[in-house]
Amino acid sequence: MLNLLAVADDPWRWEPHPEVWFLIGAIIMLGVWATRIGPRVLPPGTPVATTKQKWSFVVATLLLYAVADWPVHDIAEEHLYLVHMIQHMVITLIAPPLFLLAMPVWLARLIILDGGWGSRLIRKLSHPVVAAVIFNALAAITHWSGMVQLSFDSGMFHYSLHLVLFVSALLMWLPVVSPLPELRLSPPGQMLYLFLNSVIPTIPAAWLTFAEGTVYKHYDNGYELWGISVVSDQQAAGVIMKIVGGFYLWGIILVKFYRYTASIRDDEQRLRPAAGR
C-alpha cells in the first residue's frame, strides 16, 4: 500500500536501470568492434559500412535506449499499458529491422556463416515458419495477465522477457531484411510472410480492446496518469497493437509491392528491344 502511495505521489521519480545501460553499452561496443575488425578482413580501401548502415545503427540504438530506460520504462511498467505497447512495438517491429539493415554483409557472413553450431542454430531458428511461430507465441504469452503481473513483480524477469522478445524479433525479421540474400524470402514470399505476421496479433489486440473491466490489475493502482482511466488505457493499447502495428506492417508490404512491380516493369522494358530484333 505504501509503495502504491509513493508511486502516486511521485510518478516521475528517477530510477536507475543499469541492466539497460549494460545492454546498450554492449551494442555500442559491438559496433566499435566491427569498425576495428572490418579493415582486417576486408580488401584495402573497402568501407566497413555505408552511411545508411551507420545511420540505421545509430537510430536503432537510440530508439532502443529511449524505450528501455527511464522515464518510458517506468511509465510503461507502473502506469500506462498503452506506453508498454508502444515500447513493445519499438522493441519488436522497429529497432530489430533497423539493426539488421545496419549490419554489413561481411559481418553477417562472419557471424552466421562461420560453420559453427551458432550459425546452424541461427539458420534453423530463422526459418520463416519457425521464426514466425516463436515470435507470435511469445507476443501472445507476454499479454497474458499472469505474465504481465510477473513482469511487474520481478524487474529481472521483465528485463529478460524484453531481451527474449528482441531476439525473437531479430529472427522474425531475418527472412525479410537479412543482410544475406540467401536467408531472405522472395519479394512475394516476404509480403505474404509480413501479412500473416500482422494478422495473428489481432487476437490479443481484440481481447484487450473489447474486454469488460480491468485486465491487468496492477495498473489499477488508484493513480491515473494524464487522466487516462485503466479501461481507456487498455483499450488504447489494443488499438495500438491492432491498428498501428498492422498498418506499419501493411505499409512495408505496400512499399515492397511497389518496388516488386516496378522491377518487373523494368525487366519487361529491357526485354522488349531484344524481342523486337
Give the span between the Cα atoms of 234 and 162, in whole angstroms: 20
Which range is least confidently modeled, 37-46, 178-187, 198-207, 248-257?
A: 198-207
- Which pLDDT band, with edges at 50, 70 and 90, does 8 fall under? very low
- Write down the domain spans for the chain: 15-263
Residue 179: pLDDT over 80: yes
Residue 218: the pLDDT is 78
Query: Tell me, what's the pLDDT at 67?
Result: 92
**Torsions phi, psi for 83 (to 5 deg):** -70, -35
Q: Residue 4: which residues within 8 A CB-CB, separation 6 or more?
A: 221, 222, 223
pLDDT tens digits along 233-245:
888 888 888 788 8
Q: Where are the beta strands (DSSP E) in the chain?
A: none
Q: What's the whole-number mean pLDDT along residues 104-122? A: 79
User: Taking each helix axis from N to C terminus, what angle separates 81-89 and 230-239, rounded to the nearest 10 degrees?
Assistant: 20
- Over the chain, what is the mean pLDDT? 85
Grid coordinates representing 58?
Answer: 545509430
